[in-house]
Chain A
Amino acid sequence: MSKFIFSLLLVCSSFSVFAQADTTDAVAQKTTIKYHQLRFNFDAAKLLNNSLVDNVKIYEGGLDYYLNNELYGVAEFGAGTSNIDYPDLKYKSSNSFVRLGVDKTLFERKKPNDWGMAFIGCRYGLGFVKRDAAQYTTDDGFGGITSGVTSSSDFTAHWFELTGGMRIELFSNTFAGWNVRFKFALNQKSFGDLKPQSIAGYGAAENGTVFDYNFYLSYAIRWSSKK
């Protein structure tokens, strides 16, 4: 009888060992590594423009984060000023802006550490614009002039963007790339009569549709986690 009980215990323990082994395999199968990347982008083209143009200064930057399925969440921000000083029109304007959206890569990554990409995306842009009072002169048709001052104006600009571009990893974690952007103003009428020559992040406020580009230099930080 004691032999029978010992044999039964041995068989049961062996079953429990098999069961443990199965559970461990299941956990090992479910555990995958998720790769994260947060990339900081700085627009070098705007910086070059600023050094060459006197009356318009724009600074743009942003960051993107890899979400999933070759999709990146993007936040871009910046600020700028313009100083219009024509013989018949003088005013200053300034604004800050933020753009939020997503980028979707056109090609799936072959390796998890291959972060170069070609992409398309969309953005929603929001700009907070302040235009100072404008001094003007007008021609009366007989060669005489009249002059005056119009009041200052603060307004919020909304726009939508379709964008596309590339990022190439030149060195470890360091990228260069470009974006082209087609921007569509959503509330151009609220810009007022005197639309600023330049709204940082959007472009010429007089145009309902704007083409723009960026050349980005980027640095990425990466980490991984078990899923």
Chain B
Amino acid sequence: MNKRYKHKIFCFFLLCIFVISSFNCTTERNPCLLPTVSKVFVGCYQYKADTKTYTDTALPNANFVCLDIDSARFLYFGAKKLNKFELVLSPLRDTVRWVLQPDSAVSDYDTISFLYERKLKFYSNACGYGYEFSLSKILSTRANIDSVSITNNDVTTKSGVENVKIYF
């Protein structure tokens, strides 16, 4: 290999170093593409006496208000014909109360209390930390609600996993 050819290769190396390093070096954080807030997935059901089964029930005009996180803010306000709801739990306390009004025009209020344990969870350097929860107990008043039950204790960022069933 003659000297001139070697020098060309050397220049090519230097160029490669610069180009690849420029691509590689970025101080920007990678985007967080996953949810970091764990939510309780709640389903509403009604007992059908004729078939003796519980079926999905859409609430006509539902309000969900949290008493313990931020009582001034509705998470759902006049949500029409929904039968699945996602509620948040507080990372600052072990109990949260939610007020549910199935039909804001006519129905009474019910209060649902969630008792749970908190677990700090590291998702990634892009998404940082968040909290996951483990439901231990759920209580409710019975103005409209017949009963409530926990179907999955683990409240995580996975969507579509139902945690609580509310029976009317």
Contact = CB atoms under 8 A, between A and B. Distances in A.
B129 interface: yes
B120 to A, nearest CB: 7
A182 to B, nearest CB: 16
Most chain A CB inside 10 Å of its own CB: which residue of B18, B20, B66, B129: B129
B70 A144 contact: yes
A171 B10 CA distance: 10
Interface residues of A, number: 40
Given A48-B18, A140-B69, A193 B128 contact: no
A143 B80 CA distance: 24
A139 interface: yes
Contacts of B39: 141
Interface residues on chain B, size class: 35 or more
Given A55-B27, A141-B88, A84 B17 contact: no
Most chain A CB inside 10 Å of its own CB: which residue of B16, B17, B18: B17
A89 B91 contact: no
A168 B37 CA distance: 53
B78 to A, nearest CB: 19
A215 B13 contact: yes
B7 interface: yes
B128 A89 contact: yes
B21 A45 contact: yes
A138 interface: yes
A136 B121 CA distance: 11
Nearest to B72: A142
Nearest to A215: B17
Given A178-B16, A215-B13, A170 B6 contact: yes
15 contacts: A45-B17, A52-B21, A52-B22, A53-B25, A84-B125, A89-B125, A89-B128, A138-B36, A139-B37, A150-B122, A150-B129, A176-B9, A178-B16, A193-B121, A197-B125
Interface of A: 44-45, 48-49, 52-55, 84, 86, 88-89, 116, 136-144, 146, 148, 150, 168-171, 176-178, 193-195, 197, 204, 206, 213, 215
